[in-house]
Amino acid sequence: MGKMTLNPTPNIRKFLTAFVLTISTGLLIILAHFPSSATSLPPPKPHPLPSTLVQWNDQTNSGDYFSQVAKTEIGYLVWSQFPVQVYIERPITVSNQQAEDWVKSVLQSVQEWSVYLPLTVVEKPEIADIKIERKAPPLQLSPDKKILRARSALTTYQFYTKNNVLLHRFTILLSPSQTGNYVVAAARHELGHALGIWGHSPSQTDALYFSQVRNPPTISDRDVNTLKRVYQQPTSLGWNL
Ligand SMILES: [Zn+2]
């Protein structure tokens, strides 16, 4: 686990709530306690579109699912400082083949997304924007609070301030019980959330489809179209308080 260096101002402290999306249950779950006033936040403005997304041109006109992406109380969850720094938890024991395969699969998903947004893998969790851990997410209570359910992945974010700029960081937990193609698919899906697609596609052919499928799709044109639209939206993130 990395050391959290949260340094919130009093007005930002109330925003430091964990937000959660999960795919294992086929449900979009956002745990949020939104404060009513946001007067101290930087006014939401769009950032310049990253060149990777400027260059993106969907030849197939396949549309997007931007309407499914949630806007948070600070605006859209876009990154504005590139490359985004990704930390991947390494196995402690060298001989653990399954853990090594897991790292390879997660690395593959990082490479896939880096075509569309500049990403870099860092070795220190404390400087990472996105931390990916090989760890089972905590069991989840069903809506009637009677049954504990297992989740294959869990992605949460937090806000913090640095040099008077409002920033965010993500933590992704991926269950060690997943293997093979499912690890790549889960990492690809959760990374999509962490890069700003805070919602789910209704289509099985998109990486951000709300449920796991037998033959997981790669990043689709619709995923990238959606990502591009997200990065054209206003946000308080990345701007001076
Ligand atoms: Zn999801």
The full set of domain ranges for the chain reads 10-34+46-230
Classify burial at 43, counting beta carbons within 10 Å of its beta carbon; exposed 0-12, middle 13-18, buried 19 or more. Answer: exposed
Q: What is the DSSP letter of 91?
A: P
Q: State in Å: Cα 219 to ligand 1 middle.
A: 14
User: 181-194 and 97-113 are packed helices; what angle lies between their axes, rounded to 10 degrees?
Assistant: 40
Binned at pLDDT 50, 70 and 90, residue 44 comes out as very high
Q: State in Å: Cα 143 to ligand 1 middle.
A: 18
Return mean pLDDT, the chain: 85
Tokens of 77: 């969850």
pLDDT exceeds 60 at position 25: no
- What pLDDT, on a 0 to 100 scale, did the predictor assign at position 13? 46
Tokens of 147: 């049954």
Q: State in Å: Cα 30 to ligand 1 middle.
A: 11
In contact, 223 and 208? CB cutoff 8 Å: yes
- What pLDDT, on a 0 to 100 scale, did the predictor assign at position 12? 47
- What pLDDT, on a 0 to 100 scale, did the predictor assign at position 94? 64
pTM of the model: 0.83
In contact, 210 and 28? CB cutoff 8 Å: yes
Q: What is the fold of 10-34+46-230? A: Collagenase (Catalytic Domain) (3.40.390)
Q: State in Å: Cα 19 to ligand 1 middle.
A: 12
Give the integer Cα–Cα distance in Å for 187 and 107.
9
Q: Is the peptide bond before 83 cis (omega within 30 degrees of 0)?
A: yes
- By percentage, how much of the chain surpasses pLDDT 70? 83
Q: State in Å: Cα 9 to ligand 1 middle.
A: 30
CA-atom Rg of the chain in angstroms: 17
